[in-house]
Structure 1
């Protein structure tokens, strides 16, 4: 898995994930999220459009990070999930816990409201 951080605005970061997020690559995600959590008010859009697979270890990283983000007044949302990931998030109940948008631009626009 590759994790690419894109500074979209001064207060929003897009984290683009590419490849497969599983037990072997989750450490990379944890490290990247930990760096992003150092921001005073973390606002993160996770671009899932290039992510082909995610297992429970990857989902756990998002849940743990969101708890820290919310405690600091920030947010974490998803964008661009394919049908597999959308169904996975719905099946495990995370579609109620995370905002999920069709496109990155939609998630960023929602942040302005």
Structure 2
């Protein structure tokens, strides 16, 4: 088991939450707490950067949904970036790739064109 680290940094478009390690039943509450503590404004973009995510179980997927709901409540957007193959597969199987904007990295999500759902989000 790899320890979970959740690091928040500011970008010009909004907060970027970098998630590293194992996101599971025991650690998912830390991600939810980090997201709940963010000051999201209408029109900002909440980025969940998964580049260093090692494992994600159903509790982790639920934490992503909680983050999305938090963003929607604040009239903000949410994006998942650098989604590992194992997590991307789960998102596809349960249809969540249809509701999350997916980007190859945090920088791509922050581009001005990122305001519209990208082709990889399957939001057509």
Common fold: TM-score over 0.5: yes
Alpha-carbon distance in 2 for matches of 1:68, 1:17: 17
Q: CA deviation at 1:72?
A: 2.1
Partner secondary structure for residue 78 of structure 2: strand
Q: Partner residue of 1:80?
A: 82
Q: 2:38 matched to 1:67?
A: no
Q: 2:42 matched to 1:5?
A: no
Q: CA deviation at 1:35?
A: 0.5
Partner secondary structure for residue 37 of structure 2: helix
Q: What pairs up with 1:1-113 in 2 under 5 angstroms?
A: 1-9=4-12, 11-36=13-38, 38-41=39-42, 43-109=45-111, 110-111=113-114
Q: CA deviation at 1:95?
A: 0.3
Alpha-carbon distance in 1 for matches of 2:74, 2:57: 27
Alpha-carbon distance in 2 for matches of 1:43, 1:100: 13
Alpha-carbon distance in 2 for matches of 1:99, 1:40: 18
- Structure 2: which 5+ residue stretches go unaligned? 117-124
Q: CA deviation at 1:54?
A: 0.7
My pick for the range that moved more, 73-82 or 102-111, is 102-111
- Structure 1: which 5+ residue stretches go unaligned? none
Pairwise CA RMSD: 1.6
My pick for the range that moved more, 100-109 or 61-70, is 61-70
Q: Partner residue of 2:120?
A: none
TM-score scaled by structure 2? 0.81
TM-score scaled by structure 1? 0.88
**How many aligned residue pairs are there?**
111
